[in-house]
Amino acid sequence: MTLASTKSAPVPNPWVMSIAPYVPGRSTSSGGAAAIKLSSNENPLGTSAHAAAAFAAHKDDLARYPDASAHDLREALARHHDLDPARLIYGTGSDEILHLVAGVYAGPGDEVIYVRYGFTVYDIAARRVGATPVIAPDRDYGTDVDAIVSLVTERTRLVYVANPNNPTGTYTAAAEIKRLHALLPDDVMLVLDQAYAEYLAADEDDGGLELARTKSNVFVTRTFSKIHGLAAERIGWGYGSLEAIDAMHRIRAPFCVTTAGQAAAIAAIGAADFVEASRFHNATWRTWFSDEIALLGNAGLRAIPSKANFVLVLFEGVVTAEAAYNALLTSGYIVRWVPGQGLPHGLRMTIGTEAETRGLIAALREIVGAA
């Protein structure tokens, strides 16, 4: 028997078609030539020698599947952060983990809250499962706890907070994170995206992992793509309750972290000197860069105070962000113009090497006529 249909082809779910696809940062100039890439918040110091050697040591293991449980990686993370390895999950960058949380806890009819100027993946993760994104107003480009809480309804299932935030670089102190959690219903999962946490000073820990140890509705994600310099391998991890981890494993893709990637990540955890050097370099040149932008205030440039490895520069004068973006491309610098995140007047600029950072400022000074 043939079933009659009025449709000529399979039809995608409408909530999927409502997604604006993620657009990665460019890797080449407008003419296709190589350029200095400061658009994706990669580590300008590269990768630690220990991690690179560990990766290379597995060149003969290409025919074998990786350890699907990532046992050694979970154990290394647990030792380093004093966590329970059974409550750790891993995936293809922290992006996959952020999607897993939505897949487990949200669906059609539910709501997912995130802060205006938040990471693009939050919107995609919500829509992918048929949930409705709810955008909370910001406070000076950062997280506003009271604005988030005011939007919570009986349909709210998830709240995403990046700390430091991407693309603004703003930071929410531990007391505010704790207050936000205390004001959320027990059945709402607070997801703390800590992709840039390693760039914070020791006294700036937002307390997310500590909350996740004892609260079943707190989940923390991190990545090896940023300070550890392993962006090419796409390794992320998350920490939460046993119940949350069990549920996420049911929908996690198997063999999601390669053998060489697991080895490199384990070595990266132990490369404390490289991490500290990366943090110091970033803090030094982020401060210098922000101070130089302040000197261009008369030309309408303003840097949002950042705790990450990038700075969001606002163009509030005659020269627009779009014009500056295109001029920088011509000068050989690729930065991130972010109109898709509600910031048509902003350029997110990664802190590069000393030479790259100095060169970027020189190019900006020329573009705004302050050379």
- Is residue 4 predicted with pLDDT exceeding 70? no
Q: Are 68 and 91 in contact (CB under 8 A)?
A: no
Q: What would the pLDDT profile of 240-294 be if each residue is shown by its tens digit? A: 999 999 999 999 999 999 999 999 999 999 999 999 999 999 999 999 999 999 9
Distance CA 89, CA 53 (A): 25
Where residue 132 falls among pLDDT bands split at 50, 70, 90?
very high
Q: What would the pLDDT profile of 197-219 be if each residue is shown by its tens digit? A: 999 998 999 999 999 999 999 99
pLDDT, position 15:
75
Structure-token pair, residue 294: 């302040």
Phi, psi of 105 (to 5 degrees): -110, -10
pLDDT, position 33:
62
Collapsing DSSP states into helix, strand and coil, what is residue 281?
A: helix
Collapsing DSSP states into helix, strand and coil, what is residue 114?
A: strand
pLDDT, position 116:
94
pLDDT, position 20:
76
- Tell if the pTM clears 0.85, that is, is over it: yes
Sort 244 into a burial class: Cβ within 10 Å, 0-12 / 13-18 / 19+. buried
Higher pLDDT, 153 or 35: 153
Q: What would the pLDDT profile of 343-358 be if each residue is shown by its tens digit? A: 999 999 999 999 999 9
Distance CA 105, CA 100 (A): 9
Q: Residue 329 half-sphere exposure, CB side, CA atoms within 13 Å? A: 18
Q: Are 152 and 186 in contact (CB under 8 A)?
A: no
- Annotate 190-258 with DSSP letters as a single string: EEEE-TTGGGS-GGG--SHHHHHHH-TTEEEEEESSSTT--GGG-EEEEE--HHHHHHHHTTSPTT-S-
Average pLDDT over residues 14-41: 76
Residue in 354, 175, 365 with CA at minimum distance from that of residue 281: 354
pLDDT, position 286:
98
Other beta carbons within 10 Å of 135: 17
Q: What would the pLDDT profile of 92-130 be if each residue is shown by its tens digit? A: 999 999 999 999 999 999 999 999 999 999 999 999 999
Where residue 135 falls among pLDDT bands split at 50, 70, 90?
very high
Give the chain's mean pLDDT: 94
Average pLDDT over residues 300-306: 98
- Is residue 371 predicted with pLDDT exceeding 60? no
229: left (phi > 0), else alpha (psi -120 to 50), else beta? left
* Rg for the chain, CA atoms, rounded: 21
Least confident of 6-15, 21-30, 65-74: 21-30
Residues 6+ apart with CB under 8 A from 269: 76, 77, 80, 228
pLDDT, position 32:
61
Q: What would the pLDDT profile of 271-284 be if each residue is shown by its tens digit? A: 999 999 999 999 99
Q: Are 172 and 161 in contact (CB under 8 A)?
A: yes
Q: What share of the chain is helix, strand, coil (3-state, %, to 5)?
A: 40, 20, 40
Sheet arrangement for strand 301-303: 301-303, 310-315, 343-350, 336-338
